[in-house]
Amino acid sequence: MIYTVVVLYLNLLIVHVAVTFDYNKPKWPVPYRRFDRRPDVDSFCEAIYPFCPTGDRDGRIPDLRDSDVISVYRLQTPVWEFKYGNLLGKMNIMHDAIGFSSSETGANFTMEWYELFQLGNCTFPHLRPDVYAPFWCNQGAACFFEGIDDLHWSQNGTLEKIGEITGKQFNEMARWVQNDNQTGIYYETWTVRSDPGPNATVWFESYDCSQFVHRTYRKLSQLGAKLSSRTQTNYTKIYLYSGEPAFLGNDSSIFGQPAL
Ligand SMILES: *[C@@H]1O[C@H](CO)[C@@H](O)[C@H](O)[C@H]1NC(C)=O
Ligand SMILES: *[C@@H]1O[C@H](CO)[C@@H](O)[C@H](O)[C@H]1NC(C)=O
Ligand SMILES: *[C@@H]1O[C@H](CO)[C@@H](O)[C@H](O)[C@H]1NC(C)=O
Ligand SMILES: *[C@@H]1O[C@H](CO)[C@@H](O)[C@H](O)[C@H]1NC(C)=O
Ligand SMILES: *[C@@H]1O[C@H](CO)[C@@H](O)[C@H](O)[C@H]1NC(C)=O
Ligand SMILES: *[C@@H]1O[C@H](CO)[C@@H](O)[C@H](O)[C@H]1NC(C)=O
Ligand SMILES: *[C@@H]1O[C@H](CO)[C@@H](O)[C@H](O)[C@H]1NC(C)=O
């Protein structure tokens, strides 16, 4: 029963904003949809914890000297129940981030990607009395801020140096992060596959903090960086299994009301 409910939500997610669907012949997995810009947030969505409280308001990332040598750290820690409520706290979800420290200035930085309105709101939509279609508060974004809280990451998680990059590579990565942040705006909690086996078809990929970390590592290696971790990293994924999804229509055709 619970799966039916969840799959129903998922269909709604499909008809909503987050994916592009080729109406005639969907190719799986459906590519994550990129947008030109980030829309204003509806005032209905209110964060319990403010997003990126110590980051730059405009998301600026400092320019480092091209010749600087920057250490890169893999950061991982469990998401605690008190922070996100029962449902997701019980699943031992890990949160992933990346750390940087400049050898020239000694300054260090943390970079992570997470929900603007907490994980529960990116996982399930709201029903609002005045709105027919389920309503999502599911934006996610990159947060870059000065400092690495060593204790926070190392005590119950991981803080591991995985390589060094140049200031030039860092600056190029920074521009890529800002563009990625403006075009990839909705958090997707679920990875949806046809079955648990190794040859399953993936219908939808998740889009979350660990995906951001992977994209960033990929970008850094394209820029010529060599990163390697001595330990195996386990990333949290929440899987849903379902038959081939069918496109049901958009908000207007299903609920008689266009998306807000
Ligand atoms: C989700 O958003 C609603 C509306 O803004 C807010 O009241 C609620 O606390 C949020 N829930 C979670 C789990 O973040
Ligand atoms: C990403 O976008 C959010 C939401 O607009 C913004 O608060 C944040 O500063 C941006 N981060 C970066 C690194 O550009
Ligand atoms: C980051 O900087 C702080 C403050 O200087 C320091 O306590 C901490 O050890 C540094 N962490 C790393 C991983 O460089
Ligand atoms: C690490 O886990 C212990 C035991 O659960 C907890 O008391 C402590 O606050 C955690 N440390 C951090 C930095 O979250
Ligand atoms: C998965 O596919 C490979 C290659 O087609 C095949 O050798 C293997 O037996 C398949 N495994 C399962 C569990 O179906
Ligand atoms: C990762 O998962 C494997 C297999 O479940 C486990 O043996 C290993 O201890 C885990 N590693 C970490 C760092 O949690
Ligand atoms: C929603 O679907 C209807 C019927 O398929 C279509 O006419 C309409 O243009 C669509 N609206 C949007 C915003 O895509």
Q: How far is the CA of 44 from the centre of ligand 7 (A)?
A: 25
Q: Map residue 247 onto helix, strand or coil.
A: coil
Burial per residue of 196-229, b for 16 or more beta-carbon CB atoms within 10 angstroms, e otherwise? eeeeeeebbbbbbbbbbbebbbebbeebebebee
Mean pLDDT of the chain: 83
In this structure, the residues whose C-beta lies within 6 A of any atom of ligand 6 are 231-232, 234
Phi-psi map region of 113: left, alpha, beta (phi>0 left; psi -120 to 50 alpha) = beta
Atom of ligand 1 minimally distant from the CA of 85: 13
Q: How far is the CA of 164 from the centre of ligand 5 (A)?
A: 39
Query: Is 257 close to ligand 7, i.e. is its CB under 6 Å away?
Result: no
Annotated active-site residue 95? The verdict is: yes
Quick one: pLDDT at residue 53?
Answer: 92
Rounded CA-CA distance 139/93 in Å is: 19
Annotated active-site residue 209? The verdict is: yes
Indicate which ligand has the atom closest to the C-alpha of 118: 1
As a whole number, mean pLDDT of residues 223-229 equals: 93
Q: How far is the CA of 31 from the centre of ligand 5 (A)?
A: 24
Active-site annotation holder among 95, 122, 137, 143: 95
Higher pLDDT, 102 or 90: 102
Helical residues (DSSP H) of 184-236, grouped into ranges? 209-222
Residue 232 to residues 97, 154, 164, Cα–Cα distance (Å): 16, 16, 19
Atom of ligand 5 minimally distant from the CA of 199: 1
Rounded CA-CA distance 138/122 in Å is: 4
Global pTM?
0.84
Tens digits of residue pLDDT in 163-203: 999 999 999 999 999 999 999 999 988 889 999 888 999 99
Q: What is the DSSP letter of 206?
A: -
Rounded CA-CA distance 13/250 in Å is: 10
HEC assignment per residue over 24-51: CCCCCCCCECCCCCCCCCCCCCCCCCCC
> Quick check: 107 pLDDT over 90?
yes
- Tell me the one-letter amino acid at 199: N
> Quick check: 1 pLDDT over 60?
no
- Find where tokens 């990346």 sit: 98
Query: Is 141 close to ligand 2, i.e. is its CB under 6 Å away?
Result: yes
Quick one: pLDDT at residue 181?
Answer: 96
Q: How far is the CA of 151 from the centre of ligand 4 (A)?
A: 9
Domain edges within the chain: 69-246
Question: DSSP E strands: which ranges in 80-226?
Answer: 94-102, 108-115, 126-128, 131-135, 140-146, 158-166, 190-193, 202-204
